[in-house]
Amino acid sequence: MKYFSWKYPFLTCLVLIVLLRRDGLAIGRMGLMAALLHELGHALAYWLMTGRLPRVTLSPLGIGMEVQESCFTPQELLALAAAGPGVNLTLAGLTFLALQLRASYGGYWFLGVNLWMGLFNLLPLGGLDGARILQAVAELRRGI
């Protein structure tokens, strides 16, 4: 389990079971898929920068990637933080274009969940990507 860890595995499984059991509209499943795609965006950016895979953690609050921020330049941190929301917003845009050809409820759910995930993660709060982006931009402006 070099690349994957669980925080509170019992509670995490319980949250997943409740979420998926009560998911009649498939919003939870699409949310999980959007979160996985979001983290895959971060992981791909990390891999392109380092040549290694990152460590991913699953917890009751979601999926996250563990990164030693001191190993990256502010430009790399900016790219790394923007990769996850970038994937979600790109998927939302591509889904919107595809829905112009053939509309479906599932497509609109997928578009909405990815749009929400991408925009929410751009908020400059706590451990969200927006806070890391803001920190990297501030460091770039200071010339660190």
Has residue 31 got a pLDDT over 60? yes
Distance CA 115, CA 140 (A): 27
> Which domain covers residue 66, as residue numbers?
4-142
The reported pTM is: 0.87
Residue in this structure with the two tokens 């389990």, named with its chain if needed? 1
Q: Is 67 helix (H, G, I), strand (E, B) or coil?
A: coil
CA-angle at 15, arms to 40 and 17, nearest 5°: 95
- The tens digit of pLDDT for each residue in 87-120 reads 999 999 999 999 999 989 889 999 999 999 999 9
Task: Give me the number of domains the chain comprises.
Answer: 1
What is the C-alpha separation between 112 and 97, in angstroms, rounded? 13
CA–CA separation, 4 vs 87, rounded Å? 21
Instruction: Please count the residues of the chain.
Output: 144
pLDDT tens readout for residues 46-94:
999 999 888 888 888 778 888 777 788 999 999 999 999 999 999 999 9
Spatial separation of the C-alpha atoms in residues 43 and 90, rounded to whole Å = 16
